[in-house]
Amino acid sequence: MERLQIGVMGSWRLNLPGSSYQIAEEVGEEIAQRGHVLVTGGTTGIGEYARKGCMKFKGVNISIIPQLKSNYKYIGKYTDLIISSGFTEEGRIAIMINSCDAIIVIGGSSGTLIETLVGYLLGKSIVVIEETGLTTENIKKIIDAEHYLDDKKLVKINFAKTAKDAVSMAIENIGKGRSSSDIPPMS
């Protein structure tokens, strides 16, 4: 079995609905139980809860942080492997999303939206967990009726209500998207 790398993207803050952290933990559990690797930004909040769930089932997680570990003050608990990208918070997003086969979006704000957009441009499998606050509600407002973000139709944005469904959808849709770099410029 191939070990997939599934990213969980969401807010580092601790002001989302409590159910958002519970579902993040459940997503981490599902990823670990299926033998896959969890990828996060290594911070507190949603990523920390996902890593906690992953560790419950002896799963492996990778945290991609923006600067040297010794200088970064937002590292959360439950980290296995930490990769220091050497970039800013925003700059490390491309490395993090490129490292994922699929991403699951839980809550979040502008950084999570950027991660989702980068995933879309790269044609990554994307699943948004509904009713987890902030960005997840706004994504619904900007997709079209077919669940695409624009007329390039790179990859459908899928929505789930449970951790189990989110991980299943994320895995099922790997490879179904296409990267924006594969599309020739329009004349």
Residue 71, C-beta contacts closer than 8 angstroms, at least 6 positions apart: none
**Is the residue at 156 inside a domain?**
yes
Give the model's pLDDT for residue 17. Answer: 80
Where b means 16+ CB within 10 Å and e means fewer, 128-146 reads bbbebbbbbebbeeebeee
What is the span of the domain harbouring residue 122?
5-182
Neighbours of 61 (CB within 10 A): 26
Give the model's pLDDT for residue 68. Answer: 78
**Is the residue at 59 inside a domain?**
yes
Cα–Cα dist 178/119, whole Å: 10
Helix (H) or strand (E) segment spanning residue 157: strand 157-160
Cα–Cα dist 170/187, whole Å: 34
Cβ 180 vs Cβ 121: under 8 Å? yes
**Is the residue at 115 inside a domain?**
yes
State the total domains in the chain: 1
Residue-by-residue pLDDT tens, the chain, 187 positions: 789 999 999 998 877 888 899 999 999 999 999 999 999 999 999 999 999 999 999 999 999 998 877 788 778 899 999 999 988 888 899 999 999 999 999 998 899 999 999 999 999 999 999 988 888 889 999 999 999 999 999 999 999 999 999 999 999 999 999 999 888 876 5
Q: In CATH, what number is assigned to the domain containing residue 174? A: 3.40.50.450
**Is the residue at 187 inside a domain?**
no
**Is the residue at 47 inside a domain?**
yes
**Is the residue at 162 inside a domain?**
yes
**Is the residue at 165 inside a domain?**
yes
Q: At what angle are helices 163-172 and 18-33 packed, to 10 degrees?
A: 50
**Is the residue at 82 inside a domain?**
yes
